[in-house]
Amino acid sequence: MSVITLSNSQISVAIKTLGAELCSIKNKLNREFMWEGNPNFWGKHSPVLFPIVGTLKNNTFYHNDTKYTLTRHGFARDMEFELIEKTEDSATFSIQSNSATLPNYPFEFELQIQYTLINTTVEIDYKVVNKDNSEIPFSIGAHPAFALPSSFEDYNLDFEKVEPLEYTLLENDLVSQQTEKIHTDTNRVPLTYELFKRDALIFKKLQSNSLTIIEEEKPILKVHFQDFPSLGIWTKVGAPFICLEPWFGYSDTTESNGNLFEKEGVIVLEANAKFQAKFSIEIL
């Protein structure tokens, strides 16, 4: 594993080749915005979720009468990516299907992830290429964790729009039929650990296309996710970070039948086609 760095006059970032994982964003005052990855709480920074987001029922799916196993969030986060292009302000990483992936996910693909600096923003662009001779099913998502160095209750999340904030609850890591609402008359949600007592908040659909972290009434960071239909928000109780996670897809439902092509929220990509989506992290 190596670490690739990019910088301009406003921000600098670091990306591990293992998982093509963003592990640092600093502003020109050298403030670190990414979670440090302390394993006492959670040993990741910003894993890439592919070819599934969340958990499959019994960690398995079936294709052509064959049973396959995929662990939570898929395998991309644990693979060594190849750096295929680098400029002063961008870097592109790639993995392809191989003898390690095919026994667990029997589809031919290439996944490219490009990081680009634009002023105080880092854009993260996902590209999935179907290299198979038939359709392939997948989900893809981000899992960036942002450091909250002050007290957790000193932070708020501002949604772009005032809207009904209904989220779906997890049940044994699977998407349940239960939903709850965050009760607020504005677009602001005060952060409390009580919100996460039942794990992540899963918003299947939102009107908002961005979410801003407010630190002691001051906006410090905004995640833009207009390309992504779903969003997860997560922390561990007691941990000094918050994950804002743009997703295509999410965990299996409790009623899942094990067919990835019929999975709720899945992308089905035609043979030789390309899928592309991006989100961005703006330092304010």
Write out pLDDT tens, residues 134-171.
999 999 999 999 999 999 999 999 999 999 999 998 98
Q: How far does the chain reach from its first CA to its final CA, in angstroms? A: 31
Cα four-point dihedral sign 112, 120, 193, 237: positive
pLDDT of residue 99: 96
Instruction: Please give the average per-residue pLDDT across 206-210, as a whole number.
Output: 96
Q: Nearest 5°: phi and psi at 229?
A: -80, -25
- Cβ atoms within 10 Å, residue 40: 8
DSSP character string of 124-187 = EEEEEEE-SSS-EEE-EEE--EEE--S-GGGEEEEESS---EEEEEEETTEEEEEEEEE--SSS
* Residue whose token pair is 């504005």: 186
Average pLDDT, stretch 83-91? Answer: 96
What is the Cα–Cα distance from 208 to 230, expressed in whole angstroms? 10
Q: What is the pLDDT of residue 254?
A: 87
Q: Give me the pLDDT at residue 172, please.
A: 87
Share of the chain above pLDDT 70, in %: 100
Query: Residue 231 is encoded by which pair of tokens?
Result: 């969003």
Question: Encoding tokens for residue 173?
Answer: 């890591």
* Cα–Cα separations (whole angstroms), residue 102 to 43, 115, 192, 230: 27, 27, 42, 27
- pLDDT for res 55: 96
Sole residue written with tokens 């772009």 = 160
> Across-strand partners of 213?
157, 221
The rounded distance, in Å, linking the Cα atoms of 135 and 154 is 47
Question: 130-139, pLDDT tens digit by residue?
Answer: 999 999 999 9
* pTM beyond 0.75: yes
- What are the residues whose beta carbons fall under 8 Å from the beta carbon of 177, sequence distance 6 or more? 253, 254
Contact of 122 with 79, CB cutoff 8 Å: no
Short-list 281, 275, 249, CA closest to 136: 275
- Burial pattern 214-248, b for ≥16 Cβ within 10 A else e, equals beeeeebbbbbbeebbbbbbbbeeebbbbbbbbbb
